[in-house]
Amino acid sequence: MSDDEYSWEEFKPNKNNSKTNTTTDTGIGMCSVGSTTKQPSDPIDAAILDAIRLNIRLKYSYPHLQAFVDELMQPNKYLCSSENGQCVSVLHQYALISTRDPIDMSNQSVRTIYRPNLFIRKNDAFGPWNFNYLLNLLELDYQCNDPNQNEFPKVWKTSSTTKVYIHREEMKKKDASTNTANNDDDITLDDLLKKICRQNNCDEGDAILWKKALKEESIATIEHLRNAATNDHSWEKITSVKHLVKQMIRDYIQLNAASHTFDSSNNPYTNSEATLLADIHRVRRYFHDITDTVKFIPYLDRRAVDLAISEIRKTYDDDGNVLSNIHAYLTTFCLQNTLIDANAHKQQHDEWTKERDNFVTLNKDRRTKVNKLEKETKAYKDEVEACERGLQNAVSKKKQIDAEAKDLLEKMVSSGMTKQAFDKHDEEKRKVELAEKEHQEAKVRLQRAQTKLSEHRAPIRELETKIAEDDERIENLNTILKIDVADAHRKLKVKYGRGLLLYGPPGTGKSELLKRAAIFAGITMTTTPLAAGELNRPYVGETERLLVDIMYRAKTIRYLICAMTIDEIDGLVPKRDNNAQQSKVDGISVLLSHIEGVKDISNLIVFGATNRRNMMDEAFLRRMQAKCFVGRPSPQIRKKMLEPLLCKDLTTFTASRIDFLVKVTTNFSGAAVGALKSSIIVAMDQLKNSEALTDKTLLELADNAAREFSCWFGIGTLPEICRLYPNIVSSTEQQEKYSLKLPHISPSGRILVDLQYRKCLIELSSNDATLDYDLNPEETSTLTLLSRFVNGCSSRNIDTIQIIDMNFLTKHNAFDENQIFELLTTTFLECDEYNRSMLIFDIDSLIMLSVSDSQMSKSVSISNIHLYQFIREKCKTAIVEQKITSSNFMLQTTTGSAKEQLKEKWMVMIVKHPLLRNLLIDDIEFKKTLQQIQQENDEEAKRLDDQSVKQCPKCQQNYILAQVNHGSCHYHDGFVVDLDQSNKRLTIQEAQRIAQKAKLWAHSGNNEQNPKPPKLMWACCLGLYGIDQPCRVGICGLPEELKDQKIDPDKNLVTVVQEHFMKNKVADQNINEFKKTYIMTPATIQSTSTTARSLTVTPSVTASSFKK
């Protein structure tokens, strides 16, 4: 903003400010603040001013800026005047320091106002660079406040006794038509050359000589001079002007051309309060740097940083950690150094010393008491020692007497029991009893002595405990007193990060984030944001020189944090390996040497953005302490980006259509979603008919955007796949069916799709069984399953989906094993950067099986076993974090709201071949479904049942099912008939009772009273009961005809089988046929028995034989 665009008007925050006169810039001296100006050819003694007036003008009327100037005018506790010891304001001290060196204004004809040069103007290898210390917020000038003179002396300065008067004023903007004073387009060549003389502290008379020399080169106007200065070839041909003068003229023209590109009429703070606070803080740092109090001011203002992140959130949708990480990095620059108060520290040091001395004195007294008590307890110690010796003597005596008694007893046993021996034995017995008594008495005496000693030593132990505790306190205090406080405070300074790297897929807004975060937070940019290619130069050493010049710009303003913003920074700092170019290696070396290297520029940081972090130099990455991944927007963010379309046309865009667009834009970058939104608006304007904008049209537009921004799904795009398989964009019912939002259930993150058995299995992290869902008939491949996964990811707001199949490998030209592993590693690392991601593996397309046919057997094995192992281990890393239900848990985000960032890493395995399915389930320990668990339980119960001992219901013998084979069971499958009572059917138990009863009668010996023996016969084979062998041979267990029937478990199987055999119709027919031919004679009975034994086992044959 030019000086003459304003009329100077007093800003009146209070009644004490006096009115100031309107001034012009005529005769204003230019000088760098705090530097010694060029001395005149004839030395002149500098006059010391008695009083000086500092005019500070506010270019904006923001309350924050007014409060800042008030702050500068208030006495500062860190600035004490050496004259009276009172604190002075920052502006007071600034005025004295900035004018304490002689200022030469002898080449000025009018010296009423001195305006210091508060600009940095450099013209380096990268081009012209201008920097305003006051950032276009304020303007300063000085006036001589001596009532006896209105002008400054030719050479003057201030001293510590100079009085400083500060006047605050506000600038009022004039009509733009009056802006002529500082516009180089409206001045003559003479005026321009005089300006150059004044800025370079040359005599204005030199401008006449320069103009004459320029006329010799046919340069008579400013336009001619500018054209010549911008053309290197023409400028080099100018020989009439000395080289130094040529350089001054060209620098002025280039620097002012660069400064004029800034539109001062545009207010940069209209839409960003954070930028205003940040710029105010940068100016604050400038004033405190001049007054040597900058160490008490943090590099960045925390209010500006917090507000900057809030303002970025309004235009950058982020539900991840990007802005949180950027905020955390910028906050490290907001830490304020605390001043060491020498008096307070000395007072604290004295208190600690006094406390230590008190402990030392107290312990000394305690030790004296301990020594006194020790003397008093010496008698009790002597008594205990005497009792101990007495006890030892009693024990020794007892052992000796016991040994003598034992020897005497052995002699009595060997030599015989005499009266003399018994007398000796009685005597020894009395000695033993006496020794035992003495031993017990000695023990009692010792216990009493020890009790007395313990009672007298209790105070000593208490004192010794206190002495030990205080000795430890004394040692700790000695350690604290030895600490050098100044050195400790220096070590407590936080080392801020020297770089911020944003990496991620293209089109996610990394470069814009860097630029806005830097500007809003108050970081000074040494250049405009650059691309790495802009720094590459064809000749050796030029790139290094360019980097050095850009970095050294930060060295001129050391009080500010300066940043280089470089997009695609991987092109500037690639990995240094055997294939690296030497020019790249040299550039990296220069860059690293100025960032924590031998030529470190402490206030310089690097902001970088890249799509290929894995291709960057490791040493450079170590210096970039903050690395933030910027990924693709999640479904919720995409919905938020597309929701403005609802306001465009409510009939065309409904909530369901927005959901449709959210699904088809899965894996779209932020730039791709923005391009789609723009193309939809253009299409709506062109079609002029809302009904013409069909889903097919939207899919075509989305497909174009996906291809433009390389948002691929395999070898195609998701919109293209949706056109081939319309079921992907499912209905509401399918969306609810495919939802992965499982209330009150915690999924583990692993999903197995079994295409052979048509199942989708969702594993749970708890002990619950795996969920089991049936696949739809059309879900036969990976692409037809996308509807399930797209809807599932939308339900859980999953950021990205990545399909890993053969098409994915083909798209990236990964054919050999090394290329495949490198591609998968890069893909896995990118997915891991997201808070929520899903990897879908088509196992059958990735894993190759080899089948070997041999004469003996056919075998199947995995050919690429390493790839299978790599995928298997990745599938084990699935995780779905759950919210912490504790009411005390609260995670604060950058905006102060509670926001919990939970990790969700979903792994989907699509498999069809049974070998791969079973191998994968076993290797990753995939949990079983409820049906599989029930089946396993049933199999285990059956196994245990097969191992148990049971009674066969047919042969009624004990058996183990797992150990039986054919032929182990011999039985009759019919019933028993008593021929004397042929109408009654008998079971085995009933027949056994009748037979046993007959045996008892037979052994009684009374044949006259014995009844006739029973005539028992098997109906199935007509064999005599108890005599003939069973007619059937088989396996123990139920008969075949009963195995498929449902039997009550409470019933006895033997009873059930006997009831079944009682209903044997074939046996019934056999016995009836036999009854017709049966004659009650002994011969008949004998013939019947012989015939029956000779018959075959089949009932039909037996019956026919008897007929014959």
| Cα-Cα end-to-end distance for the chain | 138
The pLDDT assigned to 1070 comes to 85
Q: Give the least confident one: 213-227, 246-260, 603-617.
A: 246-260
The pLDDT assigned to 854 comes to 64
- For the stretch 410-433, pLDDT in tens is 777 777 666 777 778 788 888 888
Q: Give the least confident one: 370-379, 650-659, 821-830, 878-887.
A: 878-887
Q: Tell me which H or E stretch contains 179.
A: none
Q: How many CB atoms lie within 10 A of CB 649?
A: 14
Comparison of pLDDT for 226 and 704, the residue scoring more: 704
Comparison of pLDDT for 956 and 32, the residue scoring more: 956
Contacts of 366 (CB under 8 A, 6+ apart): 463, 466, 467
Comparison of pLDDT for 514 and 220, the residue scoring more: 514
The pLDDT assigned to 730 comes to 59
What percent of the chain clears pLDDT 70, i.e. is strictly above it?
85
List C-alpha distances in Å: 829 to 690, 814, 879, 956.
43, 17, 15, 69
The pLDDT assigned to 1103 comes to 35
List C-alpha distances in Å: 76 to 71, 83, 134, 336.
9, 16, 20, 16
CATH number at 273-337+493-629: 3.40.50.300
The pLDDT assigned to 897 comes to 42
Q: How many CB atoms lie within 10 A of CB 503?
A: 25
The pLDDT assigned to 921 comes to 93
Confidence tier at 919 by pLDDT (50, 70, 90): very high
Confidence tier at 93 by pLDDT (50, 70, 90): very high
The pLDDT assigned to 1091 comes to 39
Confidence tier at 586 by pLDDT (50, 70, 90): confident
Comparison of pLDDT for 515 and 9, the residue scoring more: 515
CA atoms within 13 A on the CB side of 23: 24
Cα torsion through 158, 164, 167, 171, rounded to 10 = 20
Task: Output b/e per residue, 1029-1061; b: 16+ Cβ within 10 A.
Answer: ebbbebbbbbbeeeeeeeeeeeeebbebbbebb
What percent of the chain clears pLDDT 90, i.e. is strictly above it?
26
Contact between 297 and 284 (Cβ < 8 Å): yes
List C-alpha distances in Å: 641 to 313, 633, 728, 821.
13, 9, 22, 36
Say yes or no to pLDDT of 641 above 60: yes
- Tell which residue, 523, 341, 373, has the closest CA to residue 463: 373
Can you read off the two tokens belonging to residue 809? Answer: 């490998």
The pLDDT assigned to 56 comes to 93
Say yes or no to pLDDT of 916 above 90: yes
Confidence tier at 308 by pLDDT (50, 70, 90): very high
Can you read off the two tokens belonging to residue 1037? Answer: 């267990």
Contacts of 1041 (CB under 8 A, 6+ apart): 1060
- For the stretch 735-765, pLDDT in tens is 778 888 888 889 999 999 999 999 999 999 8
Say yes or no to pLDDT of 899 above 60: no
What span, in angstroms and rounded, lies between the C-alpha atoms of 475 and 139?
A: 59
Comparison of pLDDT for 199 and 972, the residue scoring more: 972
Q: Give the least confident one: 466-470, 570-574, 685-689.
A: 685-689
What span, in angstroms and rounded, lies between the C-alpha atoms of 1103 and 378?
A: 119
The pLDDT assigned to 1108 comes to 31
What span, in angstroms and rounded, lies between the C-alpha atoms of 814 and 570?
A: 23
Within 834-864, residue ranges assigned H as helices are: 843-846
The structure tokens 């009056």 sit at: 178
Widest distance between CA atoms in the chain: 174
The pLDDT assigned to 1072 comes to 83
What span, in angstroms and rounded, lies between the C-alpha atoms of 162 and 51?
A: 5
The pLDDT assigned to 175 comes to 41
Q: What is the mean pLDDT of the chain?
A: 81
Say yes or no to pLDDT of 20 above 50: no
The pLDDT assigned to 589 comes to 87
Q: Averaged over 948-961, what is the pLDDT?
A: 86
Say yes or no to pLDDT of 368 above 50: yes
The pLDDT assigned to 967 comes to 82
Contact between 829 and 614 (Cβ < 8 Å): yes
- For the stretch 1071-1106, pLDDT in tens is 888 877 775 444 444 444 443 333 333 333 333 333
The pLDDT assigned to 805 comes to 93
The pLDDT assigned to 865 comes to 92
Say yes or no to pLDDT of 183 above 70: no
Top-confidence range, 23-27, 149-153, 493-497, 605-609: 605-609
Rg, the chain, Cα only: 53
In the chain, what are the domain boundaries?
A: 1-182, 183-263, 273-337+493-629, 349-490, 633-719, 725-883+893-947, 955-1107
- CATH number 3.30.70 is the correct assignment for the domain at 725-883+893-947: no
CA atoms within 13 A on the CB side of 924: 28
DSSP β-bridge partners for residue 48:
157
Q: Tell me which H or E stretch contains 733.
A: helix 732-738
- For the stretch 475-508, pLDDT in tens is 999 988 888 877 777 777 777 888 999 999 998 8
DSSP per residue over 428-490, as a string? HHHHHHHHHHHHHHHHHHHHHHHHHHHHHHHHHHHHHHHHHHHHHHHHHHHHHHT--HHHHHH
- For the stretch 1027-1076, pLDDT in tens is 888 888 888 888 888 888 888 888 888 888 888 888 888 888 888 888 77
The pLDDT assigned to 285 comes to 94
The pLDDT assigned to 286 comes to 94
The pLDDT assigned to 43 comes to 58
The pLDDT assigned to 1005 comes to 59
Say yes or no to pLDDT of 536 above 90: no
What span, in angstroms and rounded, lies between the C-alpha atoms of 938 and 208?
A: 111
Q: Give the least confident one: 160-174, 704-718, 837-851.
A: 160-174
Q: Give the least confident one: 497-506, 570-579, 781-790.
A: 570-579
The pLDDT assigned to 184 comes to 52
Say yes or no to pLDDT of 890 above 70: no
Say yes or no to pLDDT of 514 above 60: yes
The pLDDT assigned to 357 comes to 92
DSSP β-bridge partners for residue 188:
none
- For the stretch 687-735, pLDDT in tens is 766 567 888 889 999 999 999 998 888 788 999 988 888 777 756 666 7
- For the stretch 108-139, pLDDT in tens is 778 888 888 888 878 888 888 888 899 889 98
- Tell which residue, 880, 878, 864, has the closest CA to residue 909: 878
